[in-house]
Amino acid sequence: MNRRIRTGMGTASAVLFGAELLIGLFASGWVRWYLGDVFVVILIYTLWRTVSPMKPKHGLLLPLGILLFSFAVEFLQRWGFCDKMHITNHLLRILIGTGFSVKDLVSYCIGIVPCIVCELFLHYTISKQK
């Protein structure tokens, strides 16, 4: 992928990371519980697009992989991963999460939609340039 796209994704990653920090530090209610989960899958997507030279192939592969990863982390929370692995570090417990919610799964699905749209746009744009 070209430098302009990767720079844009890096900028988006920085903005989303800042938003996630602000949500984590100051927000409560639905903003913290759901909007943070929507943003986190978009953040993972933009981070991947920033560091990976992989071109979008089919438009859906990367977003679906991120969605599966997000679901896996959520189901690890249901299993009680942090407690079973005796993770006591507070920051690590926040990053991994300790509470399962079906609403989080829905939030991940909502968050992956803009990633799919972006991936399809990138795929179309890059294939058009050839």
The label of the residue with tokens 């300790």 reads 98
So what's the pLDDT on residue 123?
Answer: 86
pLDDT at 105: 97
Give the model's pLDDT for residue 114.
97
Q: Residue 130: its pLDDT value, please? A: 63
pLDDT of residue 71: 97
Query: How high is the mean pLDDT in each 10-residue block of the chain (130 residues)?
Result: 89 96 90 94 96 81 95 94 93 85 97 95 81
Dist. CA 103–CA 81, nearest whole Å:
19
Residue 85 backbone dihedrals phi, psi, to 5 degrees: -95, 5
Predicted pLDDT at 113: 97
Q: At what angle do helices 36-51 and 102-129 cross, to 10 degrees?
A: 30
- Residue 80 to residue 57: CA distance in whole angstroms: 36
